[in-house]
Structure 1
């Protein structure tokens, strides 16, 4: 069994590749648009965005991750995961990556809220670096919203798959 960091960065198909799909362009557009259009400093933006972002992302991700963890421990999902290329690791590490994404985004916005980015790379003196930091923060926020949604969808899919495996097993024993 490989560890999380090994799964995320190494191997035939690292877990990080999950982020490079058709939605990647959307996240880039969201990050670029908000970075260019937002007239506020990062510190001011962080103070208005941080509490709602933290509440929603942490609440959704951690609540549904708990449900997913219970589902992943069921015999049905363990059986089902044996047919998946990445096995149970693929399920577990995907949920862990969503939580990591939430934590990185929240810490980044906290740093912005403390005014660190505004002090180190002032918008007036280094606009291109400041713009890149803005882009990265909004890009990560967009990815984080998507990952939170994936945690919910993933947990629900596991629930439905568990039910299907259980029903199929009952049909086989009844026939």
Structure 2
């Protein structure tokens, strides 16, 4: 019983941080950083230096690991049988959505954000011709990050909604 309660607390709190931070990034930080031009790169570097990427990674991993253990416990050690129930299917699909969101963040969104920060920091010492090239590269990375982050939000929102209602099915 103690393990179950502790896992639920970890799962809900870390999942809340993960989804909340993703929403703030997509709807507020990224648009604000883009609207201020090169200074946006400085902002993103400052967030990186304050450990935002590490917190996002840690909370997403905690969410996934605690969720997998919760799924195993709730399934009574028989995930196949549990998945035959509506509640089991929704928990399972919600978990898969979270895993896909994590993979998307690690393979698309995070590398794009790191590259944007690196390119933006190079803008200050670049010549005019180099700035044009850097700006095009930054815009390509921003577009990729925007698409990846939007898909990530859709997956995380779907996961959170499924987790919220699965117990009642």
When normalised by structure 2's length, the TM-score is: 0.50
**Structure 1 residues 66-104: Cα deviation after superposition (integer angstroms, max 9, x where no partner):** 1101122132683442145x9586344322112113313
Partner of 1:102: 105
Return the offset for 1:111: 2.3
Q: Is the 8 A contact 1:43 1:112 kept in 2?
A: yes
Return the offset for 1:61: 1.0
Q: Is the 8 A contact 1:98 1:144 kept in 2?
A: yes
Question: Equivalent residues in 2 for 1:8-27 (5 A)?
Answer: none
Select which of 145, 160, 163 maps to 1:137: 145
Q: How many residues align?
A: 132
Q: Using CA pairs under 8 Å that are at least 6 residues apart, name the structure with larger relative contact order, 1 or 2.
A: 1
Partner Cα separation in structure 1 for residue 116 and residue 30 of structure 2? 17
Partner Cα separation in structure 2 for residue 56 and residue 155 of structure 1? 24
Gaps of at least 5 residues in structure 1 are: 1-26, 166-175
Gaps of at least 5 residues in structure 2 are: 1-25, 124-128
Partner of 1:10: none
Q: Does residue 1:82 correspond to 2:118, yes or no?
A: no
When normalised by structure 1's length, the TM-score is: 0.49
Q: Is the 8 A contact 1:42 1:134 kept in 2?
A: no
**Structure 1 residues 32-52: Cα deviation after superposition (integer angstroms, max 9, x where no partner):** 944751322665343123344
Would you tell me which structure has more helix in proportion to its own residues? 2
Return the offset for 1:126: 7.3
Distance 1:133 1:108, change over 3 A: closer
Helix, strand or coil at the partner of 1:114: helix
